[in-house]
Amino acid sequence: MTLYKLIRNLQILNYLNELNLDDAEQAVGVLIIKNGKRIIDEYEWKYDDCVLPKDEQLVIYELHVGDFSGGEDDRNSRGTFKNVMNKIGYLKELGVNAIELMPIKEYPGKENCLHK
């Protein structure tokens, strides 16, 4: 296994020789390559110039796409991001200015996002 540290513009610097095990928990952006495969998100964000509210002004709505986007009367619209977008105006009317998407599935462990 080889460890790499991600730096600006997804340039990769061999990190194994510099890695001190005591610092491993503090390392930011460590990429693990196993069996010759790696995953790097090369997507270029197009809207990073969006002005965000200050922390003290945030009104965050924790949103589960399956529960928010449809109901029992319309099962075809349930669980789609398209129908979440159709209801963004409703959240804005409530004063919500940030959305935190909840996981779509439970994950293993005693404590996870859905059950604490």
pTM of the model: 0.51
Instruction: Give tens-digit pLDDT for 63-84.
Output: 988 888 766 666 676 778 888 8
- Region 5-19: mean pLDDT is 47
Instruction: Tell whether the model's pLDDT for residue 105 goes beyond 70.
Output: yes
pLDDT at 95: 95
- Left (φ > 0), alpha (ψ -120 to 50) or beta: where does 79 sit? left
What ranges do the domains of the chain cover?
2-33, 46-116
